[in-house]
């Protein structure tokens, strides 16, 4: 078949031209004598011979390059800082590089032809089995952390990336191994340190709780003793009031007794709510007002009591002065606002102005406070005490006389005053 009967690849045409060029250089005439047919056949043979020689040379160069590439790959595989394993379909080791041999703690000849499971620590056998099963079913790389038991009985933590591949002969698995022992030990040390801290915190919390309970017990005892002492003083004042012959003397002792009762009430409420350390303003004012109404023998039928108290937690530093102010203003109203059997309404309002400021108003619709009494510069003991208590609370007093008397006290809580 001639070259005209079938298309000739370009590579063969180029090779043919090169052979022609070489033959022309060796034999310029391109003939070896003899007849025309004989010379043509001889020419073709020479060309084919040169073509074969050139193809052989190309093949030798490719073989050399392939061997060099194989050597480079073998060096990269062997000297890679990451461990490489090639396993057969049953996960027996077929190839192992130096890094993997070091990680597994055995020479290569002790690893080849043996099952990888033999070198996995007992606590990681379940994870290893799961790695095999998942890798078999997936075409994606699968990651697992395993513990390897070395020949020296040391344990090494490694991260394995496994992928299923297919060689020309059978299924195989390729694994990369990375040593994470230092990281794992650091995590375990951190976890142990955290557990140690938690134990310290737990012990410290227990000690503080015991100290707090002891403090609360002492505080309860102190409140109880203060309350008892104030009640004792109140009883003494009541006895003294009974001994007084003049109405003015009786009134003076009664007012003193009511002031002591106002302070004792704070301690009774604190004794009930010692865990919180605060007094409910609503409960305090309600009980204080009810006690005053009883002390003066005033029933709701004659004087109505209107309480509009916002429930505000108060410390003892705030509750005692506020209670004494309410006591003085209610006492003053019950004594002077409703003469004889006059009827009316007493109103007590307590509200929050902002985060640390409060407003207290005690008002009545009685006969009103005389104009000559200046609340800012009072001449009576009760109003003088109100002004001093308001100053103690970083507050001020205002008086309004419109159809009765209204005294407003604006004050701060203990946090704002400190």
What is the model's pLDDT at position 18? 67
Tokens of 75: 């060096």
Contacts of residue 257, defined as CB under 8 A and 6 or more positions apart, other chains included, come to 234, 237, 238, 241
Q: What is the DSSP string of 211-255?
A: HHHHHHHHHHHHHHHHHHHHHHHHHHHHHHHHH--SHHHHHHHHH
What is the model's pLDDT at position 254? 76
- Name 173's bridge partners: 87, 164
**Coil, helix or strand for 80?**
coil
Per-domain boundaries in the chain: 10-78, 81-179, 188-275, 278-418
What is the model's pLDDT at position 3? 44
- What is the chain's pLDDT, residue by residue, as a tens digit (418 residues)? 444 455 545 666 666 676 667 666 755 554 444 455 566 767 676 777 777 777 777 777 777 777 766 666 665 666 677 889 999 999 999 999 988 898 898 998 999 999 999 999 999 999 999 999 999 888 888 999 999 998 888 899 999 999 988 665 668 899 999 999 999 889 999 999 999 999 999 999 998 888 887 877 776 777 667 777 777 777 877 777 777 778 877 777 777 877 777 777 777 776 666 545 688 889 888 888 888 888 777 766 788 889 999 999 888 888 888 988 988 898 888 888 887 667 889 999 999 988 889 999 999 988 888 888 887 777 788 888 888 989 989 988 998 888 889 999 999 887 666 6
- The C-alpha atoms of residue 158 and residue 176 are separated, in whole angstroms, by 10
H-run or E-run covering 53: helix 36-79
- The C-alpha atoms of residue 4 and residue 84 are separated, in whole angstroms, by 55
Sign of the Cα torsion 392, 395, 399, 403 reads negative
What is the model's pLDDT at position 316? 82
Residue 189: which region, alpha, beta or left (left: phi > 0; alpha: psi -120 to 50)? Answer: alpha
- The C-alpha atoms of residue 21 and residue 220 are separated, in whole angstroms, by 119
What is the model's pLDDT at position 55? 77
Contact 359, 408 (CB under 8 A): yes
What does the buried/exposed string (b/e) look like for 372-389 if buried means 16 or more CB atoms within 10 Å of the residue's CB?
Answer: eeebeebeeebbebbbeb
What is the model's pLDDT at position 127? 94
Domain 81-179 classification at class level: alpha beta
What is the model's pLDDT at position 1? 42
Task: Identify the architecture of domain 278-418 in CATH.
Answer: 2-Layer Sandwich (3.30)
Q: How many CB atoms lie within 10 A of CB 70?
A: 10
């Amino acid at each position: 078949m001639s070259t005209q009967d079938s298309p000739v690849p370009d590579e063969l045409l180029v090779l043919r031209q090169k052979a022609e060029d070489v033959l022309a250089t060796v034999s310029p005439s391109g003939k070896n004598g003899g007849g025309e047919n004989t010379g043509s056949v001889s020419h073709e043979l020479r060309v084919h011979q040169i073509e074969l020689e050139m193809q052989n040379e190309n093949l030798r160069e490719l073989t050399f390059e392939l061997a060099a590439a194989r050597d480079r790959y073998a060096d990269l595989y062997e000297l890679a800082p990451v461990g490489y394993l090639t396993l057969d379909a049953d996960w027996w080791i077929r190839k192992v590089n130096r890094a993997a041999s070091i990680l597994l703690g055995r020479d290569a000849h002790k690893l080849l032809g043996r099952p990888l499971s033999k070198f996995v620590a007992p606590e990681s056998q379940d994870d290893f089995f799961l790695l095999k099963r998942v890798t078999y079913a997936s075409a994606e790389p699968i990651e697992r952390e395993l513990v390897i038991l070395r020949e020296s009985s040391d344990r090494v933590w490694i991260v394995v990336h496994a992928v299923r591949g297919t060689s020309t002969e059978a299924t195989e698995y390729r694994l990369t191994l990375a040593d994470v022992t230092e990281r794992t030990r650091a995590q375990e040390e951190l976890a142990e340190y955290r557990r140690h801290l938690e134990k310290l915190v737990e012990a410290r919390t227990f000690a503080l709780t015991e100290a707090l309970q002891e403090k609360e017990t002492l505080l309860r005892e102190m409140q109880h003793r203060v309350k008892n002492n104030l009640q004792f003083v109140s009883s003494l004042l009541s006895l003294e009031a009974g001994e007084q012959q003049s109405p003015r003397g009786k009134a003076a002792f009664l007012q003193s007794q009511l002031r002591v009762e106002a302070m004792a009430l704070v301690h009774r409420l604190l004794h009930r709510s010692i865990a919180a350390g605060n007094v409910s303003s609503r409960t305090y004012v309600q009980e204080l007002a009810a006690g005053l109404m009883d002390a003066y023998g005033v029933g709701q039928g004659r004087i109505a009591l209107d309480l509009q108290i916002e429930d505000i937690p108060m410390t003892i530093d705030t509750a005692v002065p506020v209670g004494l102010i309410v006591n003085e203003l209610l006492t003053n109203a019950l004594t002077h606002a409703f003469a004889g059997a006059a009827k009316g309404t007493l109103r007590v309002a307590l509200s929050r102005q902002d985060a640390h400021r409060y407003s207290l108003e005690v008002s009545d619709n009685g006969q009103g406070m005389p104009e000559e009494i200046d609340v800012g510069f009072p001449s009576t003991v009760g109003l003088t005490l109100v002004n001093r208590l308001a100053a103690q609370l970083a507050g001020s007093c205002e008086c309004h006389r419109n159809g009765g008397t209204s005294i407003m006290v604006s004050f701060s809580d203990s946090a704002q005053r400190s």
